[in-house]
Amino acid sequence: MNKVIIFSAPSGAGKTTVVRHLLKNRDDLAFSVSATTRLPRQGENDGSDYYFLTTEEFQKRIKEDGFVEWEQVYNGLYYGTLKSEVERLWKAGKVVLFDVDVAGGVNLKKIYGDQALSIFVKPPSLKVLETRLRARATESEDKLNERIEKAGMEMRFEKDFDKVLLNDQLEKTLEDAMELCRKFIDG
C-alpha cells in the first residue's frame, strides 16, 4: 500500500523544521513539493522548495485536473499538490511526506484515508507563534497580521488530524515525530 504522511500547522508552528529532520534521518521518506503562485522567498528554489507557477499556469492545471488538492489560501494566492508529484514519489518506492497548510492537510487526509497519517503541529500558544513569525522577518506587517489571524482559526482544526504534536521543546518534538512515523510506516 502506498502511504503518505501529512504535516500541517499554522504558519510558524515548526512543521517545516520537523519535516526537514525526518527527511534527513529516514531514507524511506520523500518530500512532496507543492505548487504555489506566491513568489519565492530568499533561498527558495523552484522544484525543490515549491513549484512556483503563475496564477494562469495554476488555474490551467486546475482545469486539467492536475491536482490532488488545491486551495486559494489567501486572496489571489494558491497552493496545491500535483498528482504527478505523488505518483513520481510512489514509483520511487517512497512514503510521501507532505508539509501543507491546515486546509490542505484536512483535504489530503480525506482523499488518502487509511493510507495517510495526518499530524497537526501545534505551537505552545498563539503568542509564541506570533513571536516566531516576527522573528522570521519575511513579511509585511499586514501579511503578518493576516497569518496570525488565520492561525487562530486553524488551531480549531487540530481535532481533524490523527495526531497532535506539541512543538514546545524542539528536541522532544523531533523525537516524537520520528516515533509517530516509525509506527505508521512499520506498523
Q: What is the pLDDT of residue 126?
A: 80
Q: What is the pLDDT of residue 153?
A: 86
Q: What is the pLDDT of residue 84?
A: 95
The HSE-up count of residue 56 (CA atoms within 13 Å, CB side) is 0
**How does pLDDT run along the chain (187 residues), one tens digit per residue?**
799 999 999 878 889 999 999 999 999 999 999 999 999 988 999 999 899 999 999 999 999 999 999 988 778 899 999 999 999 999 999 999 999 888 889 999 999 999 999 999 998 888 887 787 778 777 778 877 877 888 878 889 999 999 999 999 999 999 999 999 999 999 7
Q: What is the pLDDT of residue 161?
A: 97
Identify which of 47, 148, 161 has the alpha carbon closest to the alpha carbon of residue 109.
161
Strands (E), the chain: 4-8, 29-31, 34-36, 50-52, 67-74, 77-82, 95-100, 116-122, 163-166
Residue at 127: amino acid letter? K
Q: What is the pLDDT of residue 157?
A: 94
Domains and CATH numbers, the chain: 4-186 (3.40.50.300)
Terminal C-alpha separation, the chain: 12
Q: What is the pLDDT of residue 112?
A: 96
